[in-house]
Structure 1
C-alpha cells in the first residue's frame, strides 16, 4: 500500500495559471505565486549570493526588512541606551525598548528567510520557522508596550494582561512550529492564528476604554498610532493574501510592486508610526515624574 505524504511547498508543481517565464532557473520553492511570471531566483544559493545586487522577485522583501531591522536596532539604542534617555522612567524605557527590539528581530528573521530560503531544505525550514516566530514576537512586543502605557499606574491590571498575552504568544508560537502551519499552500491556519492573537491584543484597549474613557485612553497609550499600526498591517496582509495588484497585472509586478512587497511596506510604515507614538508618550510622562 502506498503512503500518500502531504505535499509541501517543496513538492508542489509549478502553478499552471500562467506560463512561468523565469529569467533565472527557478526551483518550485519560489513559485508560490502564479501571477509572478519572471524574476525568480536561481536554485543555487551560491550563485544567487554572487549576484546579490541583481534584481529578482525577492530583493525588495530582503532589503526592505534588512534595512528596517538595522533602523529599529539603532532606534533601540537611541530610545533606551543613550545618555539622554536617562530622564525617561525605567519602565517606559523597557516598554519602548521591547517594542523596538521585537520589530528589529522580526524584520531580521524575515530578511534572513528571504535571503537563505534557497540554500537547502533544512535551512529553508529553520528560517521559515524563525520568520513566523518573529511575527508572533512583534505582536507580543506591540501588546506589551500598549498595555504598559494603558495601565502604567495599575500594575495588577498590567500584569494580568501581560500574562494572558504571553500565554497567547507561547501558544501561537507553538502553532507556527507545526509543519502544516508553514509548508502547505493553505494559508487559513496562518490567518486564523495571527487573527486570534491580534484580536487578543485589543483586550487591554477595551479594558482601558471601559475604565478611563476614549479621551484619556488616547492620552495614556497613543490610541491613534496603535490603531494606525493595526490598520496598516491589515491592509498589507490583505494585499498579500489576495495577491494584489499582480493578480490584475500578471508579469508587471515581478521585480517590485507585488502584494508581498506592499505588505512589507505597510508593516514598516505601521511600526514606524507606532514607535513615534510610544516615544511621544514617554517624554511628557517622565517629565511629570509620575509615581507607579
Structure 2
C-alpha cells in the first residue's frame, strides 16, 4: 500500500486534518518507500522501526507497572501512578496495532487509524490526572475539579475521534477545538499551581521539570514530523531508518519515560511530607 493510499484511510477516519494530499500523513515527496505487500514475500518497510519502538516500550511500561515498589500500599497515589502508566501503555498498544494492520482491509485501516489517534487522547488524560493529583495533593477540591474537567475533555475528544459523524473536513475545526480543550485542561492547572505555590514547590509536588521535559520532547517530535525533517534535508536516505516519523516515536517514548520517572518521584515526595491543607 502506498503512503497516499494509507492516508486515504486516515481521511475516512476523520483524522486527515490537512488540506492537500501532499500535506497528509505519510504523503511526502521526501519519502520514497512504497508500502507494498507481495504474496509470498516480506519486504522491509518504514513502519517496521515504528513497531519495534512502540512494542518494546509498551512491554517496559507494563513491567514497571507490575513491579511497583512494595513499600507502598494500594491507595490514591498508586491509582494516579497506575493511571499514567496504563495510559502510556495503551497509547503504545494502539500505535502498534495501527502499524501492524496498515495493509489490511480499508475498514480495518480506518478503525485502527481512529484508535491510533485515540492513543494521543488517553495519555494526555492520564498525564492530567496524575499531575493534578500530586500537584494539588493537599487541595482535594481543586484536585477533584481538575480531574473531572480533564476526564470530560478526554471523553469529548474520544467521541469526536471515534464517531463517524465527526469524520471529514467539515468537522475539522470542532475536532481541533476538542484537542485544544484537552491540552488546556492539562496545562492550565499547572500554571495556576505555579502561581499558587511557586516553581520550586510545584517541582517538588509533581516533578514540574519532568512535566516540562515531557512537553518539550513531544513538541519537538511533532515539529520534526510536521516539517518532515530529516528526510527533507536528505531525500532518499531516511526511507527505512531515520525518518521524522521514527524520530517522533522515539521522542514520544523518551517523553513518556521522563515523566514516568517524575510521577514516581512525586509519589516518593509525598510519602515523607505532612499535608497541610491551604485555607
Q: Which bracket does the TM-score occupy, shorter chain normalised?
A: 0.7 to 0.9
Whether the aligned pair in 2 keeps the contact of 1:96 and 1:278 (CA below 8 Å) is yes
1:108-257 equivalences under 5 Å are 108-178=93-163, 193-257=178-242
Whether the aligned pair in 2 keeps the contact of 1:30 and 1:41 (CA below 8 Å) is no
For residues 25-56 of structure 1, the C-alpha deviation after alignment (integer angstroms, 9 at most, x for no partner) is: xxxx9962332112x33246x75xx73xx531
Distance in 2, matches of 1:134 and 1:16, equals 23
Distance in 2, matches of 1:229 and 1:202, equals 12
**Matched residues, number:** 261
Structure 1 partner of 2:52: 63
Unaligned runs of 5+ in 1: 1-7, 18-28
Q: Which moved more, 1:275-284 or 1:91-100?
A: 275-284
1:29-48 equivalences under 5 Å are 32-38=27-33, 40-43=34-37
Whether the aligned pair in 1 keeps the contact of 2:157 and 2:182 (CA below 8 Å) is yes
Whether the aligned pair in 2 keeps the contact of 1:88 and 1:283 (CA below 8 Å) is no
Q: CA RMSD in A?
A: 3.0
The secondary structure found in structure 1 opposite 2:59 is helix
Whether the aligned pair in 2 keeps the contact of 1:69 and 1:107 (CA below 8 Å) is yes
Superposition TM-score, scaled by structure 2 size: 0.83
Corresponding position: 1:73 with 2:68: no
Whether the aligned pair in 1 keeps the contact of 2:9 and 2:110 (CA below 8 Å) is no
Distance in 1, matches of 2:194 and 2:220, equals 25
TM-aligned CA deviation for residue 270 of structure 1:
0.4
Structure showing greater radius of gyration is 1
The secondary structure found in structure 2 opposite 1:85 is coil
Superposition TM-score, scaled by structure 1 size: 0.79
Unaligned runs of 5+ in 2: 1-6, 12-19
For residues 109-131 of structure 1, the C-alpha deviation after alignment (integer angstroms, 9 at most, x for no partner) is: 00110111211111111211111
Distance in 2, matches of 1:117 and 1:181, equals 22
TM-aligned CA deviation for residue 200 of structure 1:
2.5
Cα distance, 1:289–1:213 mapped onto 2, change above 3 Å: closer
Whether the aligned pair in 1 keeps the contact of 2:153 and 2:178 (CA below 8 Å) is no
Cα distance, 1:16–1:201 mapped onto 2, change above 3 Å: closer
Whether the aligned pair in 2 keeps the contact of 1:89 and 1:286 (CA below 8 Å) is no
Whether the aligned pair in 2 keeps the contact of 1:221 and 1:278 (CA below 8 Å) is yes
Distance in 1, matches of 2:91 and 2:213, equals 19
Distance in 2, matches of 1:71 and 1:189, equals 35
Q: 2:253 aligns with which of 252, 257, 268?
A: 268
